[in-house]
Amino acid sequence: MVLDIYIWLAYRLHALRDNTTVSWPAITAQFGASFSRNRRFKEHFLECLDIALAAYPDARVSVDPKGVVLYPSRPPIAKIG
């Protein structure tokens, strides 16, 4: 799941124009199909998010009770040329 989250952030963050909240139900629908309990999914997702953010230090993300807030961020790899 760490790689999935990293790719999701890399794809979304640099294209954002405004802050965007992704709700927990939307995150669960995208990443949590194999979890039967939402609480366990959320814990696992947050652990994986921390690891993905370590690999993408320019990612601007916060977590709140409603979901994950994505902020416009630099891409993880700069464009060449």
Quick one: pLDDT at residue 54?
97
- Is the pLDDT confidence value at 81 over 80? no
Taking the C-alpha atoms of residue 44 and residue 41, their distance in angstroms, rounded to an integer, is 5
Residues 28-78 have pLDDT tens digits of: 999 988 777 777 899 999 999 999 999 999 999 999 999 999 999 999 887
Mean pLDDT value of segment 15-26: 96
Residues 53-65 have pLDDT tens digits of: 999 999 999 999 9
Q: DSSP secondary structure string, 54-81?
A: HH-TT-EEEEETTEEEEE----SSPPP-
Place of tokens 């979901």: 67
